Amino acid sequence: MQTGCAKTVHFTCAVCDKRFTRKGSLNDHRKRHTGENLYSCTQCEKRFSSRSGFCDHMNIHRGKYKCTECGRCCGTSRDLAAHRRSHSGEKPFECTVCSRRFSQAGHLVRHSRIHSGEKPYHCHVCAKAFSLSKTLMCHTRVHTGDKPYKCSLCKKCLASPAACSYINVMYTATEDHITVLTVGSCL
């Protein structure tokens, strides 16, 4: 039996700095960056890099974890419990700094970075730091030039689906041209 405080070993992704307590979880995660998807859903053609992610996804098709209130199917019992809180309005996770409440523990963790200033995700090109992994992933497109999203109205290629709102122009499309209506968001 161990006594005292055990040091937690972290395995860190070299691409996005996400940390894991198990090496196997890191190996599964790395496949997201390489695009290696070994498991394919025959019902909807989604592809997965880990067996566990694939199994969770198949539970959605099987209706194993189905909400009795709205019929939504979830991949795990934990996901279903979190989803049910959207109906009940229950927010059991409270910030100890500002008392704001959250329905999911992960949302509280993300929120707490506002108070701590923690930015655990670092760009390996320019060393800029971010509090959210998805913000880092979007930022890396600055370096790669990748613009995988297209505005449905102005047809401009964008680095993120939300980037159109940063343009600060609202459009209305007619058959032969696009008219600027007002300053605002694109969609």
Q: What is the pLDDT of residue 183?
A: 37
Q: For residue 78, give both structure tokens.
A: 């934990």
CA distance 108 to 181: 38
For residue 100, pLDDT over 50 is answered with: yes
Closest C-alpha to 64, from 55, 52, 51, 73: 73
The structure tokens 């523990």 sit at 105
For residue 24, pLDDT over 90 is answered with: no
Region 77-93: mean pLDDT is 94
Q: For residue 36, give both structure tokens.
A: 């290696």
CA distance 171 to 179: 6
Going from N- to C-terminal start, the domains of the chain cover 151-182
Region 150-158: mean pLDDT is 76
The structure tokens 């108070």 sit at 115
pLDDT digits (tens, 9 = 90+) for 105-126: 999 999 999 999 999 888 889 9
Q: What is the pLDDT of residue 62?
A: 94
DSSP three-state, residue 138: helix
The mean pLDDT of the chain is 80
- Using a cut of 0.75, tell me whether the model's pTM lies above it: no
